[in-house]
Structures are given as structure tokens and as C-alpha cells.
């Protein structure tokens, strides 16, 4: 969407295969998000989608501060709380139920979420406020989206059940299915219902608001 409007977009991921498959003919950088290879204020905007929960707690503060450091005007990022430690159990139990019914292993991303501590709202707020910046936080998706994630995840697992590497390497999913998933998630975010399991954070930077 940004490129259609004539904006220059740089895509960064630590997974080279993901960049090569999903972002052909784009400006791509393979790097660790907690050590961005860019100068201060290199971009008008920086953004990250559901990355924080995949990082160990020791790297999360640095990751957020790097997004702030490289931005001139605004930082927007989301983080997911689909995690066993989440006290809003209804969505978590619903998600896990799909996989238990079909006796399937949980997807690799869910295992990775649970390998690290759940990212708490207070932690994110404190990290941003450490920079002397204000933030706006709002729910990103809720129970309907969690239902959809579990439902589609099981369908894809059943469809590619013979592929043992599928659960270890999401880049093996067809591109069309991956983009369809994200399109549905965006649509559902407009009509979703609580409890919510992902948060969107909007940080507007002051002229001197770089940590």
C-alpha cells in the first residue's frame, strides 16, 4: 500500500528465506531487529508486526529502542499475546482446542511464543516512556481472529500433513494462502470482539525524541 502511494519501503527480517519468497523485487535487508544497520533517523516511519513476542525478554527493550532510534516521525508496531501465560484464557483454550481435536502439534510460532515470557503492556509502556515519549495503544485483534488463526492453521496442517518440514519452516506455505490469511486478519480487526490478544502501539516522535 505504501509503495502504491509512491513511498520508499525497506523490508527487514532475520529470515533470509522469508524475504526472498514473499518480497521479491523489493528493497530487502537481512538483519537482527535488535541491532538495526541504519543511522539515526534513517526513516520517516518504522514499523514491526508481531515480532516482540518472538524475542527473549533480554532483547525486547533494545528492539523497541532501535525502532525509535531509526525513525524521524513515528513508530508503529504490534505485538501478540497468544500465550499460555495470558490470563484471558478463553481465546487460548479455543486456539489449542483445534489442534487437540485433530491430534496435531502446535504451530512453530506458538511454541516460540511460549518459549519466552509473554510481553506485558506495562513493560512496553515503560520502555517507550523511558525515552520521554507518549504512546497510544489499542487492541489489534481479538477472539474472532484467534478462532480464525486456529481454524486456518489446522486446515493448512492437514493439507500439508505429509510435509514434516512444514511445522519448522513457514516459508514453505504457498504465498497466496499467506497473503489471504493477512487480508482476513485485517478485515476481522474492524469487527473483532474482546478479549483481545494483540496490541497496536503508535508512538509519535518529537523533533528531539530519539533515545
Q: Give the model confidence (pLDDT) of 87-121 as tens digits.
A: 999 999 999 999 999 998 898 899 999 999 999 99
Band (pLDDT 50/70/90 cuts) for residue 23 is confident
Q: How many domains does the chain have?
A: 2
Which residue in the block uniquely carries the three cell numbers 506495562? 122
Instruction: Kindly report the pTM of this predicted structure.
Output: 0.85
- Co-location of 71 and 160 in the same domain: yes
- Co-location of 13 and 96 in the same domain: no
The mean predicted confidence, pLDDT, of the chain is 86
Per residue in 156-206, pLDDT (tens digit) is 777 766 555 544 555 555 656 666 666 776 667 678 889 999 999 999 986
For the record, the C-alpha cell of 99 comes out as 489442534
- Co-location of 95 and 195 in the same domain: yes
What's the pLDDT score for residue 126?
94
- Co-location of 156 and 124 in the same domain: yes
Lowest-confidence region among 58-72, 144-158, 176-190: 176-190
- Co-location of 110 and 150 in the same domain: yes
Average the pLDDT over 12-33 and give the result: 87
- Round to whole Å and give the CA distance between 39 and 36: 8
- Co-location of 116 and 145 in the same domain: yes
Average the pLDDT over 123-133 and give the result: 92
Is residue 210, in this structure, part of any structural domain at all? no
* Domain span including residue 74: 32-204
Cβ–Cβ under 8 Å, residues 34 and 55:
yes
- Round to whole Å and give the CA distance between 71 and 203: 10
- Co-location of 103 and 198 in the same domain: yes
DSSP state of 21: H
- Co-location of 127 and 173 in the same domain: yes
- Co-location of 51 and 26 in the same domain: no
Angle, nearest 10°, between helix axes 57-69 and 121-130?
Answer: 40
Res 144 pLDDT > 70: yes
CATH of the domain at 165: 3.40.50
Amino acid at each position: 500500500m505504501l509503495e502504491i502511494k509512491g513511498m520508499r519501503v525497506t523490508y527487514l527480517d532475520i529470515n533470509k528465506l522469508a524475504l526472498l519468497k514473499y518480497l521479491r523485487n523489493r528493497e530487502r535487508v537481512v538483519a537482527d531487529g535488535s541491532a538495526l544497520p541504519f543511522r539515526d533517523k534513517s526513516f520517516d516511519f518504522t514499523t514491526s508486526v508481531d515480532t516482540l513476542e518472538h524475542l527473549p525478554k533480554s532483547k525486547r527493550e533494545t528492539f523497541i529502542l532501535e525502532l525509535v532510534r531509526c525513525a524521524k516521525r513515528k513508530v508503529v508496531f504490534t505485538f501478540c499475546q497468544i500465550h499460555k501465560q495470558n490470563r484471558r484464557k478463553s481465546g487460548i483454550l479455543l486456539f489449542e482446542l483445534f489442534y487437540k481435536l485433530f491430534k496435531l502439534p502446535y504451530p512453530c510460532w506458538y511454541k516460540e511464543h511460549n518459549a519466552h515470557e509473554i510481553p506485558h503492556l506495562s513493560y512496553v509502556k515503560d520502555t517507550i516512556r523511558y525515552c520521554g515519549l507518549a504512546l497510544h495503544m489499542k487492541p489489534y485483534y481479538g477472539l474472532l481472529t484467534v478462532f480464525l488463526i486456529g481454524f486456518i492453521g489446522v486446515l493448512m496442517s492437514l493439507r500439508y500433513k505429509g510435509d514434516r518440514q512444514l511445522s519448522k519452516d513457514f516459508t514453505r506455505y504457498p504465498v497466496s494462502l499467506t497473503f489471504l490469511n493477512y487480508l482476513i486478519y485485517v478485515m476481522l480487526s474492524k469487527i473483532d470482539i474482546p478479549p483481545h490478544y494483540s496490541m497496536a502501539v503508535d508512538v509519535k516522535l518529537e523533533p528531539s525524541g530519539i533515545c
